[in-house]
Amino acid sequence: MKQSRRSITDLILHLHPHTVPRETLRVSLSWGLGGMAAVLVGLLFLTGILQLFVYQSSVHQAYASVLTLTREVPFGLWVRNIHHWSANLLVVAAVLHLLRVALTGAFGQGRRLNWVVGLFLLFLLLSANFTGYLLPWDQLAYWAVTICTSMLGYIPICGPWLLELFRGGSEVGGPTLANFFVLHVAFIPGSLFVLMLWHFWLVRRAGGLVQVKKDEQVPVDRVPTVPDLVVREAAFGLLLIAFVLILAIVWDAPLLEQANPGMSPNPAKAPWYFLGFQELLLHLHPVFATLVWPLMGALAFLCVPFWADSSLPTGVWFGSARGRTLAVWTSAVGAGATLALVLTDNLLLQSAAPVSNTLMTRGLLPTGLLIALLAGLYFLLVRKLKYTRAETVMAGIILTLVVLTVCTIIGVWFRGPEMHLSWP
Ligand code: HEM
C-alpha cells in the first residue's frame, strides 16, 4: 500500500514541481479550467478507443455500426454520449480557459510561447470535433460537413484544391469519411497529446501559474504539491467526471436518419462552434467571411502576447478596476452593436433593392470600416483615456469573443428555414 502510494506520488511529481506558490491555489485565479480541459481530453481518448471496437468507417457500414453501438452493445449509448458531451464541453472549457489566461495577464514574458501553443491546441480540438462530426454518417453530419467544406471552395486560388483535398473528391463521400476518420483517430489525437505535454511543461518552466507581481526580496510562500494541489485537482476532476457521466445519462447525443446526399435539410447548419462563421457568411462576401476575417482574427490572437508591453499586470483579473469597467462596457456595447448590425443587415437584405454581394460592397468596405473603427477605438482608449496597452488588448479579446458568441447564439437558436431569422 505504502509502495503504491509512493509510486503514484512519483508519477504526479513528474508532471508537477514538488512545491507550488500558495497563491496559485486560489480557485478564482484559474477556475481549474485548463485542468478541466485536460480531464475532458482524457475522457475523449478513453471513450473514443472504446467506440473503435464497434465503429466501422465505411459509408455503407458507419451508420449501422453506430446503431449497433447504441442499441445492442451494453453501455454503448452511454459511452457515445460521454464522448459527445466531453467533446462539446471541451470547446467551452478551452475558450473559457483562453479568456481566463487573457484576463489574468498570463500571456506575457515567459508565457508567450505557451499562449501560441494554446492557440494551436484550440485549433486542434476544433478540428477533432469537426472531423468526428462526420463519422456517424447521418443527415446532420453529412450536411454540416458539406456546408463547412464548401466554405473552403470560396478561398481564392487554392480553395477548389483544398476542397478536393479534404473531401477526397468533389463531393462528400467515402473518401471524405476515410480522410476524416484517419485525422480523427490518429493524426489529431497524436498531435493533441504531444502539444498538451509541451503546454504543461511550459507552465512548469514558467514557474507555475501566473502570480501577482511583487517585490523579489519577499520570499514566495510555497506549499507541497501533494497533497495541497493534487487534492484540489482531484476534487475538480471528479466533480467534472460525475457531471459528464450524469449528463450522458440524461441527454443523448443526436443521431438523425442515415445520410442522404439527395435530400438537404432546411436549414443546413454547420456544427454550433462554427455557426458564428456561418453567420458571417450571411453578411459578408464569402472570401472575406471564410478567409480574410478569420485570418485577421487568428493573426491578431497570435500577436496578443507581443502587443501588451510591460504594462501587463499579472495574476489580477482585468488588470485593474478600470480594466474591469472597460471589460463590462466592451461586452455590453459589443453584444448590442453585433445584434443591431445583424438585424439592420437582415432588413437591408430583405428590402426591395438589397445591397449586391460584391467584393467591394460586402468585402472591402465593411473590412475597411472595421479596421478604421478598431484603430480609432485603440487611439481613443490608449492615447486619450490613458488605458494601458494590456487593458486595451484584453478589451479587444473580449470584444472578439462577444461578437462570436452573439453570432453563434443567433445561428443556433434564431436561424430557421433558408437561414432566415426566426423565433426558436
Ligand atoms: C486542449 C486544450 C487545453 C488544455 C488541455 C490546457 C491545459 C492547461 C493547463 C492544465 C494549464 C495549467 C492550469 C490552468 O491554467 O488552469 C494551462 C495553462 C495555460 N494555458 Fe492552457 N490548455 C488548453 C488550451 C489553451 C488555450 C486555447 C490557450 C490560449 C491561447 C492556453 C494558454 C495557456 C497559458 C498561457 C497557460 C499558463 C497560464 C498561467 O501561467 O497562469 N491554453 N493550460
Does 3 score more than 80 pLDDT? no
Does 1 score more than 70 pLDDT? no
Top mutation candidate among 36, 100, 107, 199 for ligand 1, by most atoms within 8 Å of CB: 199
State how far the Cα of 134 lies from the Cα of 137, in Å rounded to an integer: 6
Whether residue 91 sits in one domain with residue 3: yes
Spacing, Cα 380 to ligand 1 middle (Å): 32
Cβ of 108 below 6 Å from ligand 1: no
Cβ of 122 below 6 Å from ligand 1: yes
pLDDT tens per residue across span 182-229? 999 999 999 999 999 999 999 999 989 998 887 777 788 899 998 999
Whether residue 331 sits in one domain with residue 188: no
pLDDT tens per residue across span 137-157? 999 999 999 999 998 888 888
**End residue of a domain, out of 227, 249, 265:** 265
> Whose Cα sits closest to atom 42 in ligand 1?
118
The count of C-alpha atoms lying within 13 angstroms of the C-alpha of 356, restricted to the half-sphere facing its C-beta, is 3
Amino acid sitting at position 267: P
Spacing, Cα 199 to ligand 1 middle (Å): 7
Cβ of 38 below 6 Å from ligand 1: yes
Whether residue 315 sits in one domain with residue 223: no
Whether residue 3 sits in one domain with residue 75: yes
pLDDT tens per residue across span 255-267? 999 999 999 988 9
Nearest ligand 1 atom to alpha carbon 100: 15
**End residue of a domain, out of 265, 282, 312:** 265
Spacing, Cα 220 to ligand 1 middle (Å): 23
Whether residue 62 sits in one domain with residue 7: yes
CB 59 within 8 A of CB 137: yes
Cβ of 87 below 6 Å from ligand 1: no
Does 313 score more than 90 pLDDT? no
Cβ of 94 below 6 Å from ligand 1: yes
What b/e readout covers 125-162, taking b as 16+ CB neighbours within 10 angstroms? bbbbbbbbbbbbbbbbbbbbbbbbbbbbbbbeeebeee
Does 356 score more than 80 pLDDT? no
Nearest ligand 1 atom to alpha carbon 125: 1
> Whose Cα sits closest to atom 43 in ligand 1?
34
Spacing, Cα 370 to ligand 1 middle (Å): 30
pLDDT of residue 129: 97
pLDDT of residue 157: 86
Whether residue 339 sits in one domain with residue 234: no
Nearest by Cα to 342 from 288, 277, 407: 407
- Averaged confidence pLDDT in the chain: 93
State how far the Cα of 179 lies from the Cα of 13, in Å rounded to an integer: 39
> Whose Cα sits closest to atom 27 in ligand 1?
118
CB 236 within 8 A of CB 35: yes
Whether residue 251 sits in one domain with residue 399: no
pLDDT of residue 184: 98
- Grid-cell match 447548419, residue found: 269
pTM given for the model: 0.95
- 10 Å Cβ neighbour count for 288? 23
CB 274 within 8 A of CB 131: no
State how far the Cα of 138 lies from the Cα of 135, in Å rounded to an integer: 8
> Whose Cα sits closest to atom 13 in ligand 1?
34
> Looking at residue 421, what DSSP letter applies?
B
What b/e readout covers 83-94, taking b as 16+ CB neighbours within 10 angstroms? bbbbbbbbbebb
Spacing, Cα 24 to ligand 1 middle (Å): 14
> Whose Cα sits closest to atom 17 in ligand 1?
34
**End residue of a domain, out of 239, 265, 291:** 265
Spacing, Cα 412 to ligand 1 middle (Å): 27
Does 242 score more than 80 pLDDT? yes
> Looking at residue 320, what DSSP letter applies?
S
State how far the Cα of 261 lies from the Cα of 146, in Å rounded to an integer: 9
pLDDT of residue 310: 66
- Give me the mean pLDDT over the 279-306 stretch: 93
Which neighbouring-strand residues pair with 254?
Answer: none
Lowest mean pLDDT among 175-184, 285-294, 330-339, 347-356: 347-356
Provide CB contacts within 8 A for 188, sequence distance 6+.
124, 127, 128, 131
pLDDT of residue 318: 92
Whether residue 181 sits in one domain with residue 276: no
> Binning pLDDT at 50, 70 and 90, where does residue 10 land?
confident
Cβ of 39 below 6 Å from ligand 1: no
Cβ of 33 below 6 Å from ligand 1: yes
Spacing, Cα 240 to ligand 1 middle (Å): 17
Spacing, Cα 15 to ligand 1 middle (Å): 14
> Whose Cα sits closest to atom 7 in ligand 1?
34
Whether residue 309 sits in one domain with residue 413: yes
Spacing, Cα 419 to ligand 1 middle (Å): 36
Does 297 score more than 90 pLDDT? yes
State how far the Cα of 136 lies from the Cα of 147, in Å rounded to an integer: 17
Whether residue 305 sits in one domain with residue 356: yes
What secondary structure does DSSP assign to 269-314, as a single string? ---GGGHHHHHHHHHS-HHIIIIIHHHHHHHHHHHHHHHS-TT---
State how far the Cα of 409 lies from the Cα of 267, in Å rounded to an integer: 15
Whether residue 256 sits in one domain with residue 271: no
Top mutation candidate among 43, 123, 203 for ligand 1, by most atoms within 8 Å of CB: 203
Cβ of 37 below 6 Å from ligand 1: yes
CB 290 within 8 A of CB 277: yes
- Grid-cell match 472549457, residue found: 93
Count of structural domains, the chain:
2
Spacing, Cα 130 to ligand 1 middle (Å): 21
State how far the Cα of 131 lies from the Cα of 140, in Å rounded to an integer: 13
State how far the Cα of 137 lies from the Cα of 69, in Å rounded to an integer: 14
pLDDT tens per residue across span 97-153? 999 999 999 998 889 999 999 999 999 999 999 999 999 999 999 999 999 999 888
Question: What CATH number is given to the structural domain containing 157?
Answer: 1.20.810.10
Whether residue 173 sits in one domain with residue 65: yes
Range of the structural domain that residue 120 is part of = 1-265
CB 277 within 8 A of CB 151: yes
The bridge status of strand 19-21 relative to strand 222-224 is antiparallel
In angstroms, the first-to-last Cα distance of the chain is 57
